[in-house]
Structure 1
């Protein structure tokens, strides 16, 4: 048995156990929310905007339905990179990270940009006192705000070495959240532009980033992911 066998065995176990746990968690969430999501299924399947793309249930349902398409796009990107000479690990990690950022972030940003009951009519509202709105968010509101930029925080440091640090992931989540809050105010969507939303959004991005920390890209390991250059013929 080779010298690396003892250390490689736990890694193989982790590579098997972690994806299995992730699949079980996703399956559990889907099972517990199946009735809520299926409420919007008839309207979404009929292609109706109202009741599907303007509701939380409908947007989440279509996000789940689009998972196979996102997986296909990630596979196509990885295949294209490998055909251009990129290493398999680098190609797959980069492709999955890029698709994951988009697939996991766009639906939540879409939800945060949905107008309230009186867009363009109700006065613009801004809340700049930290923690004042947090007590009124409720459990659902806090969880939702944690998830808005969770995919971005999870995948961005896997794709970009320049973002692979705790302060930068936190700053990324906060900056994106500030842009959303400013857009809500400028577009007069009858939503409250709150500093607490920024705090919770940034916290969600950070927690998700910490969950993917073992896969963060660093400048040192980037060259090792790519194939070695073919030496030019001599003579």
Structure 2
């Protein structure tokens, strides 16, 4: 469990630390939008979603783009790295699988709220972003393995979050009396 905290601790602290800043920015951005004629509810929805996407994604990107003393490699055969991870120690499984599921989960959850898009569009953006991150890891020689499995899990996390978000938000909209 110490390994999990060493890996995720700074991300959790950074994510929690940015909450007050994100809330303040959401208020300012909402007021700006209302002043431009956007209805209050729409202005709040957009502002909150945009800031949640940034605040929920940047700590993970910061972590995975931080240099390490590890191996610099590219692994393009799907499911090989994932299989190796799944037979590892539980802490490795948590760090690798849960961490990769969470990288673009904020985008997955809030993207449909902000842009009224579905899981397929969220997955497309997550795919492009994830491939970019993996290419940066390799191109910047960060001592990290660039793996197609990381891309697959990143996209899966975004799509799962989007699927739940779309369903819950549809149910809320349908439950509101007209």
TM-score range relative to shorter protein: 0.7 to 0.9
The answer to whether the 8 A contact 2:108-2:119 is kept is no
In structure 1, list runs of 5 or more residues that go unmatched.
1-32, 40-54, 217-235
CA distance, structure 1, for counterparts of residue 102 and residue 94 of structure 2: 12
- Displacement of 1:60 after TM fit? 1.6
Bigger RCO (CA 8 Å, 6+ sep): 2
The 5 A counterparts of 1:1-235 are: 56-117=8-69, 124-137=72-85, 138-161=93-116, 164-214=117-167, 215=169
CA distance, structure 2, for counterparts of residue 73 and residue 185 of structure 1: 34
How big is the alpha-carbon RMSD for the aligned residues of Structure 1 and Structure 2? 2.0
Over alpha carbons, which structure has the higher Rg? 1
Q: Secondary structure at the match of 2:66?
A: coil
- Structure with the higher fraction of residues in helix conformation: 2
- Displacement of 1:178 after TM fit? 0.2
In structure 2, list runs of 5 or more residues that go unmatched.
86-92, 171-178
User: What is the number of equivalent residue pairs in this alignment?
Assistant: 160
- Displacement of 1:157 after TM fit? 2.0
TM-score normalised to the size of structure 2? 0.82
Instruction: Please identify runs of 4+ aligned residues in structure 1 that moved more than 3 A.
Output: none
TM-score normalised to the size of structure 1? 0.63
